[in-house]
């Protein structure tokens, strides 16, 4: 009886095992592969390199036991990603992973569309370690928006050969900058026999170059403390000196008159082709991209330089929010898988692709050593640019310059988030500032009307946000 009982127990356990294996097999046989839909301004379904990039992440997750398909969503309607994204969201077509850099994240968050990613990051194996200090600070205020990227400080960049042809050293102060930009605009450094180059071009506004020029006019913190409390730097009287400087560049034909309508790609093309001597770009890998594209357009290595700002200071960066990053839809059925996909790009393996680019395209591996190809300078990471070193030096001299200047001269400006009921006033005041700035720069409105502008700024929402600021700031 003992023997029989033992046999029965063995048969029972065997049946359990067989049943479990049958269930497991049936699940794997009949379950559908999970699909993660991702939308980003930098991703195109028709781009073979993007597809290759995505497939690396998909295969890596499969090795972890996470079987997914990755679908790059192509947006329709509107003229730009900034216009297309809100149209897609309003239509109800909400991808699982969403990239935004235009402030639409706040709208989506208020509608309950975005997942709180704080616990995901806190429990992550890689991403939390890849984030920079300001990335972590921002997450406290915007828990649905993740980013692993150095401070997006803008820095001036010029061609080294143009500076040499001008017979100048790198500019050290505002007067040096003016003389350099004037020489670029008045000389035929591109050699086409025509006086058709400008010293400086921008895109849409002066915002990019304000990073380097504003401190030269005594403009710093977003909110200035005075005897009456705090007031916004947009109405600081020192703005008049900045506008006067830009107006001088505009009147003398040094500043590209099309800067207000130029898109970023047009701005860059003017720089590479010799139609503009200086643009203001982001520190770090952006300099790598500029260098690669410059060499490609010029057909030879044409070194660029990252310049120290004229007052040895950058405008302070808001540590609370850098307005771009990845989000996960709260309505998604694959939230865990979506985060796992983002998490992979912060892993040691994922960072090889993020920092070195695609194997066989941007880098090769020979005898266990990584070697960068001539195409590497054109590589742009699609997800993270973490605070973790690459296995080989990936930076061109201009990129290293930019990092060194940023480390030396960066300051933080801890702004705050306006409550939803004041967001419209904040946007209105912002728009008023940029509208008047363009008119001051072009001379459409004289600087003697600055007080009238201040009144308009206050009435357009500036008064309300100033009153709120004075209840928050101490």
Q: Using one digit for the tens of pLDDT, what is the confidence trace for 294-324?
A: 999 999 999 999 999 999 999 988 766 667 8
**To the nearest whole percent, how much of the chain has pLDDT over 70?**
92
Q: Are residues 159 and 94 in the same domain?
A: no
Q: Are residues 302 and 165 in the same domain?
A: yes
| pLDDT at residue 16 tops 80 | no
Q: CA 346, 351, 353 angle in degrees (round to 5)?
A: 130
The rounded distance, in Å, linking the Cα atoms of 420 and 456 is: 22
> Hey, is 293 helix, strand or coil?
helix
Angstrom CA distances, 286 to 35, 289, 394, 418, stand at 32, 5, 12, 31
How would residue 30 be classed by pLDDT, with cut points 50, 70 and 90? very low
**pLDDT of 453-467, one tens digit each?**
999 999 999 999 999
Which secondary-structure segment (H or E) carries 242?
helix 239-251
Q: Where are the alpha helices (DSSP H) in 64-206?
A: 81-90, 104-110, 118-122, 127-130, 133-141, 160-165, 174-186
As beta bridge partners, residue 39 has 98
Which residues are within 8 A (CB) of 201 and not within 5 positions of it... i.e. 6 or more apart?
255, 256, 258, 259, 262, 267, 270, 271, 275, 276, 278, 279
Q: Are residues 241 and 348 in the same domain?
A: no
What is the count of structural domains for the chain?
2
Residue 51 is part of which domain span?
Answer: 34-151+322-386
In a domain? residue 431: no
In a domain? residue 176: yes
| pLDDT at residue 126 tops 50 | yes
Over residues 40-53, mean pLDDT? 90
Predicted local confidence at residue 10, as pLDDT? 52
The rounded distance, in Å, linking the Cα atoms of 467 and 15 is: 73
In a domain? residue 464: no
In a domain? residue 461: no
In this structure, what token pair is assigned to residue 41? 């301004």
Q: Are residues 210 and 292 in the same domain?
A: yes
Lowest mean pLDDT among 20-29, 212-221, 321-330: 20-29
Q: For the domain that residue 145 is a member of, what is the CATH number?
A: 3.40.190.10
**To the nearest whole percent, how much of the chain has pLDDT over 90?**
57
Over residues 165-172, mean pLDDT? 96
Rounded to 10 deg, the angle between the 285-298 and 264-273 helix axes is: 50
Q: Are residues 187 and 297 in the same domain?
A: yes
Q: What backbone torsions phi and psi does residue 421 show, to the nearest 5 degrees?
A: -70, -15
> Hey, is 155 helix, strand or coil?
strand
Predicted local confidence at residue 21, as pLDDT? 47
Predicted local confidence at residue 462, as pLDDT? 96
Predicted local confidence at residue 378, as pLDDT? 80
Q: Are residues 195 and 259 in the same domain?
A: yes
Question: What is the per-residue DSSP string for 56-72?
Answer: HHHHHHHHTT--EEEEE
Q: Are residues 199 and 309 in the same domain?
A: yes
In a domain? residue 173: yes
In a domain? residue 328: yes
Q: Are residues 146 and 196 in the same domain?
A: no
Which residues are within 8 A (CB) of 102 and not within 5 positions of it... i.e. 6 or more apart?
81, 82, 85, 323
Predicted local confidence at residue 347, as pLDDT? 93
In a domain? residue 460: no
Which residues are within 8 A (CB) of 159 and not within 5 positions of it... i.e. 6 or more apart?
189, 277, 294, 302, 303, 304, 305
**pLDDT of 141-152, one tens digit each?**
889 999 988 887
Q: Are residues 160 and 270 in the same domain?
A: yes
**pLDDT of 406-442, one tens digit each?**
888 988 886 777 887 898 999 999 999 999 999 999 9
Q: Are residues 166 and 309 in the same domain?
A: yes
**pLDDT of 200-257, one tens digit each?**
999 989 999 999 999 999 998 899 888 889 999 999 999 999 999 999 999 999 999 9
In this structure, what token pair is assigned to residue 27? 């699940």
Predicted local confidence at residue 23, as pLDDT? 41
Predicted local confidence at residue 320, as pLDDT? 67
Q: Are residues 139 and 177 in the same domain?
A: no
Angstrom CA distances, 443 to 214, 243, 449, stand at 19, 10, 11
Over residues 184-205, mean pLDDT? 90
Q: Are residues 147 and 290 in the same domain?
A: no
Predicted local confidence at residue 29, as pLDDT? 40
Which residues are within 8 A (CB) of 37 and not within 5 positions of it... i.e. 6 or more apart?
71, 73, 95, 96, 97
Could you tell me if 57 and 344 are in contact, meaning their C-beta atoms sit under 8 angstroms apart? yes
Question: What is the per-residue DSSP string for 337-394?
Answer: HHHHHHHHTTSHHHHHHHHH-SBTTTEEEETTEEEE-TTGGG---SS---SS--SS--
Predicted local confidence at residue 406, as pLDDT? 87
**pLDDT of 104-122, one tens digit each?**
787 888 889 999 999 999 9
In a domain? residue 174: yes
Predicted local confidence at residue 82, as pLDDT? 83
State the greatest distance between any 2 C-alpha atoms of the chain, in Å, as a whole number: 108
Q: What is the mean pLDDT of the chain?
A: 88
| Residue where a domain terminates, one of 417, 439, 468 | 417
């Amino acid at each position: 009886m003992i023997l029989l009982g033992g046999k029965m127990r063995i048969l029972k356990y065997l049946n359990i095992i067989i049943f479990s294996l049958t269930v497991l097999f049936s699940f794997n046989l009949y379950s559908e592969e999970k699909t993660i839909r991702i939308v980003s301004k930098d991703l195109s379904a028709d781009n073979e390199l993007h597809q290759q990039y995505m497939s690396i992440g998909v295969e890596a997750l499969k090795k972890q036991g996470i079987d997914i398909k990755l679908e790059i969503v192509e947006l329709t309607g509107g003229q730009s990603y900034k216009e297309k994204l809100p149209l897609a969201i309003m239509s109800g077509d909400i991808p699982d992973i969403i990239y935004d850099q235009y402030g639409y994240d706040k709208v989506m968050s208020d509608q309950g569309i975005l997942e709180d990613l704080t616990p995901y990051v806190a429990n992550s194996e890689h991403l939390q370690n890849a984030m920079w200090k300001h990335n972590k600070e921002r997450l406290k205020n915007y828990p649905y928006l993740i980013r692993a990227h150095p401070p997006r400080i803008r820095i001036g960049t010029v061609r080294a050969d143009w500076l040499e042809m001008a017979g100048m050293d790198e500019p050290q102060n505002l007067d040096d900058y003016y003389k350099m930009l004037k020489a670029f605009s008045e000389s035929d450094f591109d050699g086409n026999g025509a006086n058709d180059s400008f010293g400086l071009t921008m895109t849409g506004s002066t915002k990019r170059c304000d990073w380097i020029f504003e401190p030269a006019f005594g403009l710093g913190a977003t909110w200035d403390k005075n005897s009456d409390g705090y007031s916004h730097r947009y109405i600081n009287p020192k703005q008049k000196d900045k506008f006067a400087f830009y107006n001088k560049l505009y009147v003398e034909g040094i500043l590209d008159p099309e800067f207000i309508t130029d898109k970023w790609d047009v701005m860059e093309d003017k720089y590479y082709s010799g139609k503009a001597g200086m643009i203001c770009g982001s520190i770090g890998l952006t300099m790598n991209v500029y260098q690669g594209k410059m060499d490609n357009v010029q057909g030879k290595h044409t070194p660029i330089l990252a310049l120290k700002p004229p007052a040895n200071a950058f405008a302070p960066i808001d540590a609370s929010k850098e307005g771009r990053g990845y989000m996960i839809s709260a309505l998604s059925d694959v939230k865990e898988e979506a985060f796992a996909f983002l998490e992979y790009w912060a892993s040691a393996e994922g960072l090889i692709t993020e920092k070195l680019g695609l194997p066989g395209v941007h880098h090769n591996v020979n005898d266990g050593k990584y070697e960068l190809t001539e195409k590497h300078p054109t590589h742009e990471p699609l997800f993270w640019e973490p605070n973790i070193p690459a296995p080989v030096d990936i930076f061109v001299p201009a990129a290293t310059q930019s990092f060194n200047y940023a480390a030396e001269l960066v300051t933080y400006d801890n702004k705050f988030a306006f409550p939803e009921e004041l967001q419209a006033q904040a946007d209105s005041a912002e728009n008023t500032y940029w509208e008047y700035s363009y008119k001051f720069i072009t001379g459409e409105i004289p600087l003697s009307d600055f007080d009238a502008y201040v009144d308009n700024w206050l009435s357009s929402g500036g008064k309300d946000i100033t009153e709120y600021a004075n209840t928050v700031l101490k």
